[in-house]
Every structure is written in structure tokens, then in C-alpha cells.
Structure 1
């Protein structure tokens, strides 16, 4: 009996010691877990660089909130909100000078907006100027192509000069005998229209020659054409004058014959 009681006492002591050891180990584990949580929390504090930057406002504030957003499924380029409808750019803050009211801030904002609008208007005006310049260059090139001398135009000019030299005498005779030919008012109107057309052509050729003074080829061609047109204008004016004089003299003769 004495031995059995001693055995029971020893077993109870061993069980107590084992329970104490288990309690100590549990306390140690809890303390270790607490230390680990503190370490992880200290690691989570401050600026984090594990996740991508979602928006520009993270340049000003970036920490555990950005990491939580990444875990929630936000992606780069999205705004806050269920469907990413939140603001992407931060609200700009303007520091005003001391002792200035909000009216001054509104006026400064309006001035900035007006400057932006003026820049846009200037850019539009520059575009219009460029378009006008391109149109003028295109028109000049077209005129140059029309006036640029080629082989056929030179041949035609030479033939025209030769024909004028051959038919000069006959033309003078016709001009002298134009008084004998009966001229009516239709012929006079035709001469008048021809004179008007030639004057318009002379004005255009003068403008073209003045505009292309730097280009020698185009300037010479324009001046040559201008001289020819002026000569034709002088002849048309002379014919118009002679026709009008002939018509006036014939009408006077008719009046005298009536008496």
C-alpha cells in the first residue's frame, strides 16, 4: 500500500509539471506571435513600393492604403469607386499671398482661363495664316506653270511675229480704209468689250510681274506677255476710237440729208 501511494503521488507531480511546461510553451508562442505581428505592422508602416502607382494622387500620399487597394483589386489607371469612376488627378492647390480674399483667387483663375483661350485663338490664327500662305504659293506656282515658256509657245510666238511682219502693210491699209467700211453700233459695242477685257488682262499681268520679280524666268515671261497685251490694247482702243468717229460722222451725214 505504501508503494502504491508513493507511485500515485509521483504520477500527479509529473502531470502537474507537464501541464506547467505546456502552459509556458503556449505563453511563449503567444508572445512570439505578438512580436511577429508587431514586426509585420512596423514593416507595413511608411511609404511602400510593392504595388504599382494607381493614380497621380499617390505621389503625395502612399502607404498601407495603397497596399489594401491592391489587395481589393484596383489596377493602374483606375480611380476610386466601385467602377473606377473616381478622380484620377489630384486637386491642384494654389497658395495665395497673405491678406487676400477669395475674390482675388477667382479673378486670377479667370485670368488664367483667358490666357489659355487667347493661346488657342492665336494658334487658330496662325493656322489660317499658314493656309492663306499655302494658297498664295499654290496660286503662284499655277501662274508660273501657265506662263512658263515651252517649245510650242516659242514657235507660236515666232510665227505670230512673222505673220505680223508680213501682214503689217495690209493691216495698215485696212485701218486706213476702215472709214469707208460701214460700222454700226454692234461693232462699236464689240470694240468696247474687247478694250475692257484687255485692260483687265493688263492689270492681272502687272500684278503677276510685280509679285514674281525675284523669279527671273517668270518675270520675263510675264513682262513679255504684258507688252503684247498692252500693244493689243492700244490697237483695240485706236480701232474703237476710229469706229466711234466713223459712226458719229455717218449719223451727222444722215441728219444733214434729212434737211
Structure 2
């Protein structure tokens, strides 16, 4: 005959057992109603209590171990540490912080001390806005955002090359080449060989993109984007002056 265990009135860590709970745990395990020293109520199984797997309602996890540096009141970037906020699954200390912008956030102590986390995230917005401003004001030539011309090929590209699309029609494989500029997509041509398509794309980049890249780099004092007939007219005028 299995002897029934009565844990009523016993203490396990911060928990005092009140009695058997009406609820049941995993696999219909007996649960005990417990009162935590912090005042909260909780439940635990016999195994959790007797093996020390459950010592509180959870409040102990929020308390800083003796070997954890108290960061309360310290400031990291725009964050001021308010209090301990538990720990991660890897036992890294978490801290509740208030940002200068007014928001609160939770961050790991190691991230704060290393300088990896210095705001609630609002600084990232500032950085994005600043990068956009630099792109529009300092890295734009005649309405063309030059850094976008040299962006890497997208990860979902089936050919691995910018502006080259693989097509199959009636069992025949070919490659279409395009290049974009000022919101327009220019069709360059279709090629049976990928190498020919790559060469065509490179030539198109030299024709359409390179003038803007060189202008930004200062290789040319001024980018002449005027139409060919206007240039020709100016040259003819200079000839007549001679």
C-alpha cells in the first residue's frame, strides 16, 4: 500500500504548503497550493518541492544573485537602469531601464556594459533618418541615389547577377538583361549565353551608372547630363567662334 504524503504546513524555500490543490499537473500529478513569503500564491508538485526545483512563486528569479553587479542608477548611453528584471535562459542578468526619450526597455547587463545597448531603440530611428538624409543630400547626383547603383545582388536572384533574368520558352533557355535608372527599367537585350548576358549588363552599367558614380567620387569636375544634340550644338558654336 502506497503511503500518502502530506506536505501541508511544511516549508520549501520561500514556499509554505497550504494544502492539496483542486488542480492537477502534468500526467494528473498532485499539485500543492503554496503561499510564497512575498505574499503571492502558487502551486507546485511534490517532486518540485522535495527536490528543491520550486522555491518561490518566481520572485527569486527577479532578485540579483550575490555575484551580480548592481547596475541600479547607472547610465549607459540614453538608458538609466531602474531595477533588476530577472534573467535570461542562460542566466544572464536582465535590467529594466528608462530611456531619455521616456520609453522603458529590458536589457542584459553585459549588453549595457559593452555598449551594445544604449537606447530603447529610438537611436536606431535617428541613425536611419540620418543615413537617409546623407543619402539624399550628400550621395545623390541629379536625382540619382548613387549608393543604390552599386548594391549587391538580391539573395533571391536565380542567376546571381543584377539585372539578369533567366527565361525558358518552348524548352529554350535564354537570359534577359535590364538596367534601372531614375525609376525607369531599360531593356538591354536577350542572350542565349549567360556570359554574354553578363558582359551586356556590365557595358550597360558603364553607360548608365558609371557617369553618376564618377561624379560622386569627384573624378569629374561636373557631370554633363545634357542631351547629345545640345552638346553637339555647343561644340558647333565653339567652332564658329574660332
Q: Which has the higher helix share?
A: 1
TM band (smaller chain): under 0.3
Between the two structures, name the one with larger relative contact order (CA 8 Å, sep ≥ 6): 1
TM (norm. structure 2) is 0.27
Q: Which has the higher strand share?
A: 2
